[in-house]
């Protein structure tokens, strides 16, 4: 892909890195086949190739992000399926990271977006708070159809069952069955232990059955997933 960054822009190491990444893209479109948002929505701007065009224009022009930029870049799940498919090894992840950093610096989101983004970091990494929030969402599920936009969609996604804390919520060492062959650390996850703790329980059963001692360490934080 041809780029038109000025020498002054190229003095910025982030722009120089973005230039190297952009010039690797050959417009082949292989990435579109594995991009979940493009497969679902069918919009070129919701594909990795389309987002690369948006990011290229954003960085080259030095303009402030518009609602169009924000909409399509926000929809990227950062699953990186496109990077495993790309024959040119385009480092798409860093382009999206740079674009998102620019958006957060220069774009003023609507009030409701800012409110939700401010609340989530105060709730999701804390299982007890997360359970209380889910309980409130569960109680409000009947109102999902009359709530505006994203808030209504979030209420509609509230689980029908709120799981109680399990034994795996506390730090401990779980012995292997029979002879110990390995020692494994298990990150239980701030969201998973609330949304689907059965996954952690099944993981522990599988590991211990195959001779692994499982360590659930103290002080686990949010992994950011």
> Average pLDDT in the 157-165 region?
85
pLDDT at 24: 93
- The encoded tokens of residue 21 equal 């990444």
Burial 14-43, CB ≥16 within 10 A → b, else e = ebeebbebbeebeeeeebbebbebbeeeee
- With a pLDDT cut of 90, the percent of the chain lying above it is 57
Cα 152 to Cα 75: distance, rounded to the nearest angstrom: 18
- Flag whether pLDDT at 176 surpasses 90: yes
pLDDT digits (tens, 9 = 90+) for 14-40: 899 999 999 999 989 999 999 999 999
Could you give the dihedral angle defined by the CA atoms of residues 194, 196, 200 and 203, in that order, rounded to the nearest 10 degrees? -170
pLDDT digits (tens, 9 = 90+) for 38-94: 999 999 999 999 999 999 999 998 889 999 999 999 999 999 999 999 999 999 999
Q: Which of 15, 93, 106 is nearest to 63 (CA)?
A: 106
Angle between helices 92-106 and 48-61 (to 10 degrees): 50
Contact status, residue 5 vs residue 60, Cβ threshold 8 Å: yes
DSSP state of 87: T
Cα 91 to Cα 20: distance, rounded to the nearest angstrom: 9
Q: Is residue 225 part of a domain?
A: no
Cα 157 to Cα 144: distance, rounded to the nearest angstrom: 9
Q: Is residue 162 part of a domain?
A: no
Task: Residue 19: give its domain's CATH number.
Answer: 1.10.1060.10
pLDDT at 225: 66
Q: Do 98 and 118 fall into the same domain?
A: no
> Average pLDDT in the 138-160 region?
80
pLDDT at 152: 80
**Greatest distance between any 2 Cα atoms in the chain:** 66
pLDDT at 153: 80
Q: Do 137 and 200 fall into the same domain?
A: no
Q: Is residue 161 part of a domain?
A: no
Q: Do 100 and 115 fall into the same domain?
A: no
By residue range, what is the domain housing residue 187? 167-216
Q: Do 122 and 51 fall into the same domain?
A: no
How many distinct structural domains can be found in the chain?
3
DSSP state of 184: E
Burial 47-67, CB ≥16 within 10 A → b, else e = bbbbbbbbbbebbbeeeebee
Helix, strand, coil shares of the chain as percentages rounded to 5? 55, 5, 35
Total residues belonging to the chain: 225
Q: Do 27 and 99 fall into the same domain?
A: yes
Domain boundary among 90, 106, 122: 106
Q: Is residue 1 part of a domain?
A: no
pLDDT at 86: 94
How close are the terminal C-alpha atoms of the chain, in Å? 31
- Computed over every residue of the chain, the mean pLDDT equals 90
The verdict on pTM exceeding 0.75 is: no
Residue 113, helix vs strand vs coil: helix
- Flag whether pLDDT at 209 surpasses 70: yes
Cα 160 to Cα 139: distance, rounded to the nearest angstrom: 10
Answer with the residue of higher pLDDT: 116 or 222.
116
Q: Is residue 133 part of a domain?
A: yes
pLDDT at 183: 96
> Average pLDDT in the 119-130 region?
89
Q: Do 87 and 172 fall into the same domain?
A: no
């Amino acid at each position: 892909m041809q780029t038109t960054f000025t020498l002054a822009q190229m003095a910025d190491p982030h722009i120089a890195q973005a230039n190297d990444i952009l010039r690797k893209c050959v417009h082949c479109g292989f990435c579109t086949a594995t991009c979940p948002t493009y497969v679902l929505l069918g919009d070129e701007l919701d594909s990795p190739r389309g987002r690369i065009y948006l990011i290229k224009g954003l960085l080259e022009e030095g303009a402030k992000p518009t609602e169009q930029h924000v909409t399509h870049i926000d929809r990227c799940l950062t699953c990186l399926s496109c990077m495993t498919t790309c024959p040119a090894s385009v480092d798409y992840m860093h382009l999206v990271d740079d674009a998102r950093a620019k958006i957060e610096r220069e774009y003023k989101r609507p009030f409701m977006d800012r409110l939700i983004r401010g609340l989530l970091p105060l709730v999701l990494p804390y299982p007890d708070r997360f359970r209380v929030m889910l309980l409130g969402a569960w109680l409000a599920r009947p109102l999902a159809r009359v709530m505006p936009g994203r808030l209504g969609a979030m209420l509609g996604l509230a689980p029908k069952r709120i799981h109680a804390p399990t034994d795996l919520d506390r730090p401990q060492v779980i012995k292997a069955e029979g002879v110990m062959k390995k020692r494994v650390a298990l990150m239980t996850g701030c969201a998973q232990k609330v949304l689907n703790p059965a996954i952690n329980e099944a993981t522990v059963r599988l590991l211990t059955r195959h001779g692994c001692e499982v360590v659930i360490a103290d002080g686990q934080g949010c992994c950011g997933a």
